[in-house]
């Protein structure tokens, strides 16, 4: 592949630790940062058709990247960040961050997305994970999304088959190019106030380098409460520590990705032993890890 023929920026020895919220990860062979959707499609198609190893990276939240060298490519969507408005429909490219999205909403007096405030994700990641907060989810506001997986598709809200921390895009090898959201006319002051209220509700969340919640809540139970009842608040492996503020957060306090991974495995084993529950990770692993705990 000759990236000079594409509307794309490339970077060799791309440092994943600079592009994940955990601030962890080794380097990878090369990262492609397409500036246009056409360029993104061409890169994805070439890598996929050649069966090359690669993954798509948004804002790097909900990701634990291995400390080891990733012998593959990254498609980084950070430069795909255009946001446009058509009536009451907001069209957002997948690399736009929540901060960029809400800034646009404030400037244009658009309400309905304030519940996303404080989530350190890109639009593509929000859609992929059906992210949410304060009892609301992307599935409540998404109209459709543009997806490429060998062909270009428009997935309606229904076709996304949204569930808890789930969309159909998690089950297919695809690139989310953009998402459209239903918004409502409001005022700059009202949108700002709603964002402020949302951020106040999130103030109790742990501070520090993390991926957010590590585990999904099993069957309506609280994963954090279950981990707390195992006596694991404050438990650490090296620089990886279970937050004392919220046990479903693992903080990087000078950790390696291997230590975070080992702590995740330890928690799963302890919860299985005590409650017979198999916790399922929300965090997505990139690269290779030693599977110590199974």
Same domain (yes/no): 99, 177:
yes
pLDDT tens digits, one per residue of 247-271 = 999 999 999 999 999 999 999 999 9
The conformational region for residue 109 under phi > 0 = left, psi -120 to 50 = alpha, else beta, is left
Same domain (yes/no): 15, 91:
no
Local confidence band at 186 (pLDDT 50, 70, 90 cut-offs):
very high
Q: What is the largest CA-CA distance in the chain?
A: 57
Residue 294 lies in a domain: no
pLDDT, residue 150, reads: 86
The conformational region for residue 261 under phi > 0 = left, psi -120 to 50 = alpha, else beta, is alpha
Q: Are 147 and 114 in contact (CB under 8 A)?
A: no
The conformational region for residue 186 under phi > 0 = left, psi -120 to 50 = alpha, else beta, is beta
The strand ranges marked E within 199-274 are: 236-237, 240-242, 250-252
Same domain (yes/no): 132, 173:
yes
Residue 212 lies in a domain: no
Q: Which of 293, 211, 208 is nearest to 254 (CA)?
A: 208
Per-residue CA distances from 91 to 88, 98, 123, 150 (Å): 10, 13, 10, 22
Residue 209 lies in a domain: no
- Of 20, 52, 76, the last residue of a domain is 76
Handedness of CA 97, 101, 102, 104 (dihedral sign): positive
Residue 48: partners with Cβ closer than 8 Å, 6 or more residues away: 54, 150, 173
Residue 46 lies in a domain: yes
pTM above 0.85, yes or no: yes
Number of domains in the chain: 3
Same domain (yes/no): 111, 177:
yes
Q: Which of 54, 55, 60 is nearest to 98 (CA)?
A: 60
Residue 272 lies in a domain: yes
Local confidence band at 1 (pLDDT 50, 70, 90 cut-offs):
very low
- Angle (nearest 5°) at CA 188 between 78 and 115: 55
The CATH number of residue 257's host domain is 3.90.78.10
Same domain (yes/no): 277, 179:
no
Same domain (yes/no): 183, 245:
no
- Of 41, 61, 76, the last residue of a domain is 76
Same domain (yes/no): 127, 189:
yes
Q: Which of 82, 9, 72, 59 is nearest to 39 (CA)?
A: 9
Same domain (yes/no): 263, 231:
yes
Q: Which of 289, 260, 284 is nearest to 61 (CA)?
A: 284
Asked if the model's pLDDT at residue 290 lies above 70, the reply is: yes
Same domain (yes/no): 110, 172:
yes
Same domain (yes/no): 153, 247:
no
The CATH number of residue 175's host domain is 3.30.465.10
The CATH number of residue 13's host domain is 3.30.43.10
Q: Which of 251, 286, 256 is nearest to 24 (CA)?
A: 256
Tell me if residue 285 falls in helix, strand or coil: strand
pLDDT, residue 294, reads: 41
Asked if the model's pLDDT at residue 29 lies above 70, the reply is: yes
Per-residue CA distances from 215 to 21, 88, 154, 197 (Å): 16, 35, 30, 26
Tell me if residue 27 falls in helix, strand or coil: strand
| 291 or 105, higher pLDDT | 105
Asked if the model's pLDDT at residue 3 lies above 50, the reply is: no
- Of 201, 232, 249, the last residue of a domain is 201
Residue 213 lies in a domain: no
Residue 106 lies in a domain: yes
Q: Residue 193 sits in which domain range?
A: 83-201
Residue 291 lies in a domain: no
Same domain (yes/no): 246, 140:
no
Residue 76: partners with Cβ closer than 8 Å, 6 or more residues away: 14, 19, 31, 32, 33, 57, 95
Average pLDDT, the chain: 94
pLDDT tens digits, one per residue of 58-98 = 999 999 999 999 999 999 999 999 999 999 999 999 999 99
Same domain (yes/no): 66, 108:
no
């Amino acid at each position: 592949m000759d990236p000079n023929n594409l509307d794309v920026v490339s970077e060799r020895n791309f440092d994943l630790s600079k592009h994940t919220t955990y601030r962890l990860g080794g380097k990878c062979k090369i990262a492609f940062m397409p500036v246009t959707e056409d360029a993104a499609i061409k890169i994805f198609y070439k890598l996929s058709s050649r069966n090359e190893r690669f993954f798509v990276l948004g804002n790097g939240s909900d990701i634990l990247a291995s400390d080891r060298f990733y012998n593959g490519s990254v498609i980084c969507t950070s430069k795909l960040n255009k946001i446009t408005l058509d009536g009451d429909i907001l069209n957002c490219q997948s690399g736009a961050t929540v901060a960029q999205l809400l800034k646009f909403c404030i400037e244009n007096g658009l309400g309905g997305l304030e519940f996303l405030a404080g989530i350190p994700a890109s639009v593509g990641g929000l859609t992929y994970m059906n992210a949410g907060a304060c009892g609301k989810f992307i599935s409540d506001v998404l109209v459709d999304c543009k997806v490429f997986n060998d062909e270009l598709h428009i997935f309606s809200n229904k076709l996304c088959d949204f569930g808890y921390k789930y969309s159909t895009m998690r089950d297919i090898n695809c690139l989310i190019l953009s998402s459209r959201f239903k918004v409502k006319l409001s005022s700059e002051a009202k949108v700002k106030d709603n964002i402020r209220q949302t951020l106040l509700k999130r103030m109790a969340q742990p501070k520090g380098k993390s991926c957010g919640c590590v585990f999904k809540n099993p069957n309506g139970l609280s994963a954090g409460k279950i981990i707390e009842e195992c006596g694991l608040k404050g438990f650490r492996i090296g620089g990886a520590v279970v937050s004392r503020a919220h046990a479903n957060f693992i903080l990087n306090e000078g950790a390696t990705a291997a230590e975070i991974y080992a702590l995740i495995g330890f928690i799963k084993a302890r919860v299985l032993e005590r409650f017979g529950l198999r916790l399922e990770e929300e965090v997505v692993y990139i690269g290779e890890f030693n599977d110590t705990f199974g």
